[in-house]
Structure 1
Amino acid sequence: MANSAAPIGHTTWISVANHKGGCGKTTTVVNLAAEFARLKFSVLVIDLDPQANASLHIGKKHPSEVAVTCVDILLKDNPALPQAIHSDTNIEGVDLIYGSLTLGKAEDELKDLSPRPSEELRQKLDPLNGIYDIILIDCPPSLRLLTSNALAASTHYMIPIESGSQYGLYGVHDLTHHVEKLKRINPKLELLGALLVKHDERQNVCKIMERAAREQIGKLIPIKIPTSTKVNQAAIANMSLHAVDRSAKISREFKDLAQYIVNELKIKPIDHESAD
């Protein structure tokens, strides 16, 4: 059936997924979004994590103050999609659909309410295809329905790996197995690669993790994100790393990462006049 494929058209949908916590998913989403926007792409971030950290970083409101969040999109038959999208955010050029602390509860309800609980996000957000150049989805640290919905809606996914931890690859086999099952729903889903985060070339554990990630996942993104205190500074200030310190190594690496993805996927801004 045609509707079983990944979203097609001009929009690139990227899920940042790993069911291990603390591996840099939100930091990656926030700063990639900022760098894509600096490259003049239209960008939307969807926060599917019940912790809502991407919303707290990018958004100007607390998630509890927002009328329409990802919960409404997942559970309501006709969600007010225009009201869910917030363009007035802390990062210029980045729109946001807020997450919610109640997403975990919504995940449980979804199983009872929907005949295809892994496909709700794709179905509800299909009107956004051709509107944004790039949509980034911040996934929760689990392999349950929220992550399944993100992957089912995406054209691509990347796996952040905490390079500086010997447990960084814990459970990656479960994630790759889960993705393979999701490809029955979304056969066009493609791996961008594993992204090494908190990486230090001088540390043996990082060298070992790099080799292991290449063996287990098969594809490594050539850009590596170092450890930096700038990450917490940016989160506290509700700013991108570039806005905090554009000369910092970690800021330059996220800039290079965004450019790598644009080149790798051959992303071009949508020509809305031609589309009309």
Structure 2
Amino acid sequence: MSELSETRWIVVANHKGGCGKTTTVVNLAAELARLGLSVLVVDLDPQANASMHIGKLHPSEVEVTCAELLASEVDRLPQALHEDTHIEGVSLIYGSLALGRAEDSLKEHTARPSEELKAKLAPLDGLYDIVLIDCPPSLKLLTSNALSLATHLIIPIESGSQYGLYGVTDLLRHVDKIKRINPKLEFMGALLIKHDERQTVCKLIETAANEQFGKLLPVKIPVSTKVNQAAMGQMSLHSIDKNARVAKEFRKLAEYVIESLGLTAIEGK
């Protein structure tokens, strides 16, 4: 653990699918852990891709996932936490298809449906240096729950797609709305994914993203087949090929995040 006891809660969100949310969460978590931080991944996406990448169990085999945690009237957090994962130093709370039903249940049975996750995860504050939350491609209640407890937000943008910024106005409007109940939420920046400086579309997206968000992270994640290799092998990009450019960029991202949050890395790891 770092000297600071306060946990940083980083949400990775964008209501557009295929923009690299899960890739960012998994590989940023792996690099943060390699730098000596204690890290937890909370998979709030019904697709549970982060869980299938990191976890040693299939989500269908897990008794208490984020869905059961949200829906239960009793504390099931100890059963939801899994420290034994495929990535050393990274703990996991699994996602599952049942999150869709849990979202509906929150609307019907909870007084403050956007703040239930915050209440359920409150006991973890101070136990981890960083908690990374992977959100579904939606601006509905699950993403609102994540943003309501977050201290920081990263928005991945698919730089290599002409539709990478589709719906940005809606996304920013939703974030502003959540800030009314969570004024501490800080935007760390937009993260360009599948970026290729040689491609005109990437240059255009970079310029437009900087104009619309006002802040880009100083790291650009390139296109790489190693991303899919790592996911299929349930490994980090560093484990696949530590010298690959995409692995080095995630290392730089982790170093930037640590510096920005005032945390301390363990040198030489």
- Per the normalisation by structure 1, the TM-score is 0.93
Residue 49 of structure 1 pairs with residue 45 of structure 2: yes
Distance 1:10 1:33 in 2: 17
Structure 2 distance, partners of 1:79, 1:43, is 21
Question: Are 2:59 and 1:73 aligned?
Answer: no
SS of match in other structure, 1:252: helix
Look up the match of 2:81: 85
Q: CA deviation at 1:106?
A: 1.1
Q: Distance in 1 between matches of 2:97 and 2:106?
A: 15
Residue 260 (structure 2) pairs with residue 260 (structure 1): no
Return the alpha-carbon distance in structure 2 between the equivalents of residues 123 and 19 of structure 1.
24
> Cα offset for 1:250?
0.1
| Equivalent position of 1:62 in the other structure | 58
Alignment of 1:191 with 2:204, yes or no, is: no
Q: Which amino acid aligns with 1:233?
A: Q
Q: Name 2:27's counterpart in structure 1.
A: 31
* Alignment check: 8 A CA contact 1:133 1:268 kept: no
The answer as to 2:99 corresponding to 1:103 is yes
1:132 and 2:132 aligned: no
Question: 1:265 offset after TM fit, Å?
Answer: 1.6
Find the aligned partners of 1:32 and 1:40 in 2 and give their Cα distance: 13
Residue in structure 2 matched with residue 245 of structure 1 by the alignment: 241
Task: Sort the Cα spacing of 1:114 and 1:268 in 2 relative to 1 into closer, same or farther, 3 A.
Answer: farther
Equivalent residues in 2 for 1:161-180, closer than 5 Å: 161-180=157-176
- Deviation string 1:195-253 (CA, Å, 9 cap, x unpaired) is 00000001110000000000001100010000000001000100000000000000000
1:72/1:79 contact within 8 Å kept: no
Query: Matches of 2:42 and 2:82 in 1, distance apart?
Result: 11
Q: Which of 178, 182, 199 is 2:178 aligned to? A: 182
Map of 1:231 onto structure 2: 227
Normalised TM-score (structure 2): 0.96
Please tell me the residue identity of whatever aligns with 2:243: S
CA RMSD of aligned residues (A): 1.1
- The answer to whether structure 1 residue 209 and structure 2 residue 205 are counterparts is yes
Q: Distance in 2 between matches of 1:184 and 1:9?
A: 26
* Contact 1:75–1:113, Cα closer than 8 Å, also in 2: no
- Say whether the 8 Å CA contact 2:52–2:58 is kept in structure 1: yes
Mark the CA change 1:9 to 1:88 in structure 2 (over 3 Å): closer, same or farther. closer
The CA deviation at 1:136 is 0.1
Summarize deviations over 1:141-195 as a string: whole Å, max 9, x none: 0000000000001100010000000100000111110010001110100000000
Please state how far the C-alpha of 1:79 moved relative to its aligned partner: 2.8
Tell me what 1:4 maps to.
none
Q: Quick one: distance in 2 between partners of 1:62 and 1:177?
A: 35
Cα deviation, residue 268, structure 1? 4.0
2:115 corresponding residue in structure 1: 119
C-alpha separation in 2, matches of 1:261 and 1:57: 22
Gaps of 5+ in 2: none
Poorly superposed stretches of 4+, deviation over 4 Å? none
**1:9 CA drift (Å):** 5.8
Contact 1:12 1:267 in 2 (8 A): no
Runs (5+) with no aligned partner, structure 1: 1-7, 270-276
State the identity as a percent.
68
User: In the aligned structure 1, how far is the partner of 2:264 from the partner of 2:147?
Assistant: 22
Q: Distance in 2 between matches of 1:226 and 1:167?
A: 17
SS at match of 1:91: coil
| Mapped pair 1:10 → 2:30 | no
Hey, what's the Cα distance between the residues in 2 that align with 1:192 and 1:9?
20
Counterpart residue number, 1:272: none
Find the aligned partners of 2:16 and 2:222 in 1 and give their Cα distance: 18
Amino acid corresponding to residue 152 of structure 2 in structure 1? H
Find the partner of 2:143 among 128, 147, 168.
147
